[in-house]
Amino acid sequence: MTKMNINFCGVEFKNPIVTASGTFGFGMEYSEFAPLEEYGGFGAKGLTRTPRAGNPPPRIAETASGILNSVGLQNPGVEFFAENIMPILSEYDTNVIANMSGNTIEEYCEMAEILSETDTAIIEMNISCPNVKHGGMAFGTDAKVVNRLTREVKRYCKKPLVVKLSPNVTSIAEIAKAAEDGGADGLSLINTLLGMKIDIHTKRPLLKNNTGGLSGPAVKPVAIRMVHDVYAATNLPIIGMGGVMTGEDVIEFMLAGASLVALGTSLFAKPDLVKSVKADIQQYMERYNIKDITELIGAAQMW
């Protein structure tokens, strides 16, 4: 028998497969395609301090090997989630990773405090958000700001805190170290890459917001490299994501250093993908006589 379970930040996951926030709603939408118990855990849709309508449409554009999105964090707000959604999710035999996004350090701290009182297993902090008190620059692009934000939020967070890193930086390893030094329990990466698509007939961007986040198979090589860089630079466990389509992709992320791996954009095309991904992993482990899946974490050997 092969051992598939992973201990991540002190939380037991029955397997390393989770979902990326923003691609899985609040889980219940996908349960008719595959039981939520198939996953080790799933990332719930990103939450903000108050309800948010999101950006005006069009806000999704397909690309040759992925999608651009500028949904704009449409969500019912953290309090509605805590009071009405999380009680339902807690009935499923899987871990819930709550994702939060804020415009100020104070908002992040308030959300961490609220989510800490729920049955959420892990709190994921999206730092690709604009810091409205400092000219709108994303929190995640400044190492000093990341360190301070993480340090402050940890004071209010009673659950393991995972910082979700933006790839739109010069050195993701530097940002990762800043989060680690600030007290983060884990890291997740990568978030989407900033991109644009222009309609050559109307001569306008396809997204009303002009730019959006690129996800899907096109970003996987970038994500693998960044996971490897962060694994080498820190001692924190990693949730890897970016273009995962198969069990082989999951294994590649784990070899680069990820402990958990998230399915994302691929679920829009194949909502029951988790089943074939688990089968792929099982087959790989049997082929190479791997008894414990943790043997794969960071096992890639560089030339």
The structural domains of the chain, with segments of one domain joined by +, span 6-296
Please state, in angstroms and rounded to a whole number, the distance separating the CA atoms of residues 238 and 186. Answer: 6
Q: Is 129 labeled as catalytic in the residue annotation?
A: yes
Q: Which of 9, 109, 129, 157 is catalytic?
A: 129
Q: Indicate the pTM of the whole model.
A: 0.97
- Span 221-246, pLDDT tens digits: 999 999 999 999 999 999 999 999 99
Q: Which class for 144: exposed (0-12), middle (13-18), buried (19 or more C-beta within 10 A)?
A: exposed
| Structure-token match 């273009």, residue found | 243
Please state, in angstroms and rounded to a whole number, the distance separating the CA atoms of residues 277 and 60. Answer: 26
- Span 36-83, pLDDT tens digits: 999 999 999 999 999 999 999 999 999 999 999 999 999 999 999 999
Using 50 as the pLDDT threshold, list the residues of the chain that sit under it: none
**CATH code of the domain occupying 6-296:** 3.20.20.70
- Residue 12: what pLDDT? 98
Please state, in angstroms and rounded to a whole number, the distance separating the CA atoms of residues 180 and 91. Answer: 32
DSSP state of 151: H
Tokens of 160: 């393991």
